[in-house]
Amino acid sequence: MPEIATIDIEPFRLGDAEARLAVAKSFGEAFEDIGFAVIVGHGIPGQLMDDTYAAAKAFFEMPLGAKLALQPPEKVKARGYLPMGIESVSATLTGETPPDLCEALVFAGIHRELRGDPNARPNYWPTDPPQLTGLIQSYARSIETLTRQLMEMSALALDLPEDYFDADFADPNMTFRFVNYPDQVEEPKPGQLRYGEHHDYGGLTILRQDSAPGGLQIWDPVVGWWDALSPHNSFVINVGDLMARWTNDRWSSTLHRVINPSRQLTGSTQRLSMVAFTGPNDNTEVVALPTCVDEAHPAKYEPVKAGPYIRSKIAASHELSTTR
């Protein structure tokens, strides 16, 4: 059975050039292999991660009416509270599917809002529990720093100068989804999952998952679906479609899903994931990197602008999942 490589990135954060390169090469090898890696030694305090998780869990335990107060009037998936029953993420791959068995609280462009950017679109910030907004903002700052480190690692892994992606990630695209998978009182419909099979759309995805049953699985064409496990307060990192295009498919954007817990289990099977979708700024032209093309590997994709590309993917998903 495959397994995700666990990479300690502390030597990259704190070590010399030789140590940084060694970590970066291990990071890249994992993405060339299965498109996923687990990282530890990332420097984000475990207490911050645990506190943010606990406060987000408290939010989802509130009555539905209180949560719906954070649902945007336009009912899109980019910001605010997303109730159960409005999203089928695998619709872009398989057509009509039952709704995913999850609810989410979504924030986009937090860093722009915190910097006072006059063009930043405001998020829908919860007032209850009172500590949640501050925790999410602190967590977002930490993830923004981690994202820049991951892109420096990516550059070295792809045989590029360490600062190659700096300009594209000076004002990155970042969306945070706090996803609650409630206990399944009723048996799911045929083909219905906590989160259907899909590819992520953007650059690198940063996932903090818990150990509750009914979790992340990755597709392998030889062995089929297999469980993606990770230590407490580590991060699962995976490649999105945009990053795969950038690397000319040297790095894999791998199919994955979140399965249902066994009906035989007793006790709560609630699961909560904290997901950060990261990518370059909207105006970045994504064209096959110079170290990822040669005579044997010509460019597979036409250049695209990052922002319109991601928005087209989200729009297609939203259209298909709301026209069932």
Concatenated DSSP letters for 146-212? HHHHHHHHHHHHTTS-TTTTTGGGSS-EEEEEEEEE----SPPPTT--SEEEE---SSEEEEE----
25 in a structural domain: yes
1 falls within a domain: no
Tokens 């307060």 belong to: 233
User: How many domains does the chain fold into?
Assistant: 1
Residue 324 pLDDT: 38
Tokens 């469980």, residue located: 227
Q: Is residue 270 part of a domain?
A: yes
Span 152-173, average pLDDT: 97
Tell me, yes or no, whether 202 lies in a domain: yes
Residue listed under structure tokens 């890249």: 28
- Judge whether 149 lies within some domain: yes
Please count the other Cβ atoms lying within 10 Å of the Cβ belonging to residue 11.
15
Nearest to 240 by CA among 166, 149, 160, 309: 309
pLDDT of residue 131: 98
Q: What is the pLDDT of residue 323?
A: 41
Q: How confident is the model at residue 94 (pLDDT cuts 50, 70, 90)?
A: low
Is the pLDDT assigned to residue 97 strictly greater than 90? no
**In the predicted model, what is the mean pLDDT of the chain?**
94
Residue 184 lies in a domain: yes
pLDDT digits (tens, 9 = 90+) for 298-309: 999 999 999 999
* 42: CB partners within 8 A, 6+ apart: 9, 10, 13, 146, 234, 235
Residue 163 pLDDT greater than 50, yes or no: yes
251 within 8 A of 264, measured Cβ to Cβ = no
Buried (b) or exposed (e) across 284-298, using 16+ Cβ within 10 A?
bebebbeebbeeeee
C-alpha 130 chain-centroid distance: 25
pTM tops 0.85: yes
Length of the chain equals 324
> Residues 13, 15, 18, CA angle at the centre, nearest 5°?
115
Report if residue 244 sits inside a domain.
yes
Please give the share of the chain, as a percent, with pLDDT higher than 70: 95
Nearest to 210 by CA among 35, 60, 324, 34: 60
**Which amino acid is present at 95?**
G
CATH of the domain at 26: 2.60.120.330
Helices (H), the chain: 10-14, 17-33, 46-60, 64-68, 91-94, 110-114, 132-157, 241-246, 306-322
Tokens of 315: 């729009």
- State the pairing for strand pair 6-8/36-40: parallel
Confidence of residue 77 (pLDDT cuts 50, 70, 90): confident
Q: What are phi and psi of 60, to 5 degrees?
A: -70, -15
Burial class (CB in 10 A: 0-12, 13-18, 19+), 76: middle
Q: pLDDT-derived band of residue 317, with 50, 70 and 90 as boundaries?
A: low
Residue 228 and residue 151 in contact, taking contact as beta carbons nearer than 8 Å? no
Residue range of the domain that includes 25: 6-322
How high is the pLDDT of residue 314?
73
The answer to whether position 48 is within a domain reads yes
